[in-house]
Amino acid sequence: MPNQQRPGRITVPAIRAMKGRAKIVSLTAYTAPVAALLDPHVDVLLVGDSVGMVVHGLPTPTAVTLEMMILHGQAVVRGSSRALVVIDLPFGSFEASPEQAFTSSVRVMQETGCQAVKIEAGEALAPTIAFLVQRGVPVMGHVGLRPQAVHIDGGFKAKGRTADERTRVLAEARAADEAGCFAIVVEGVAESLAAEITASVAAPTIGIGASSVCDGQILVSDDMLGMFERTPKFVRRYADIRSSVTAAAAQYAADVRAASFPGEAEVYRFKPQD
């Protein structure tokens, strides 16, 4: 049974009420053990479609399926008890119609126990967001650099570098806000545009590569923990897990090859009966 109603879990209204009062702390999570470690420290755990690239080695998030998001969402909900859990609707699961988006959202919420879904909110999706909110589905928006649009954009490119693009991103954010998003992720935009968006919408903004002027921040946990060789410009590394894992694996391999593992402490011995 999904762990939907654990007492003490942060709620959607509580996140919305943090606008202008306290910074919202968010990180991605894809597994129960990592969710359990992050849970005491964050307000929002996002099961992002970045799971496709981070965990499954896919080149873009567009190949991620609804079933993948549900599987990882179940793990994160089981591993956490405090943070609000939000799950991305993956590419192809919501664009066709508001009804398709509602069907996908119901599956995600019922099968995982999460409290909200996230939609990459191009201006055309505002009616879909409103349709969901009016039917009891809390929605987090996502504007600026939208990873699911990677093939249209020709790569993961920062947004708002031209006047026309700034106008479009600002319009996306306002449309998502007016449609009822309780929070909006703002990704890959200049600080001045992030400030304008944050001042223009009632929903709190959660930045990633959008400066500290947003109402909160989110990072991909594996980037923040130093799991990958390359670190994006907007990421600050708080650990070097890659080096730790490499060193541990090398030491394990050396111990096995030297027949020093397993040793006496790791071996079972026959105990004769009296």
Task: Please give the positions annotated as active site.
Answer: 187
Burial code of 202-213, b = ≥16 C-beta within 10 A, e = fewer? ebbbbbbbbbeb
Q: Which long-range contacts (CB under 8 A, 24 or more apart) does 59-67 make?
A: 60/147, 60/150, 60/151, 61/90, 61/91, 61/147, 61/148, 61/150, 62/91, 62/92, 62/148, 62/150, 62/151, 64/88, 64/90, 64/91, 65/90, 66/90, 66/93, 66/104, 66/107, 66/108
Cα distances (angstroms) measured from residue 226 to each of 106, 110, 119, 136, 222: 35, 33, 27, 38, 6
Whether the ω angle into residue 2 lies within 30 degrees of 0, i.e. cis, is: no
Q: 159: which strand partners?
A: 189
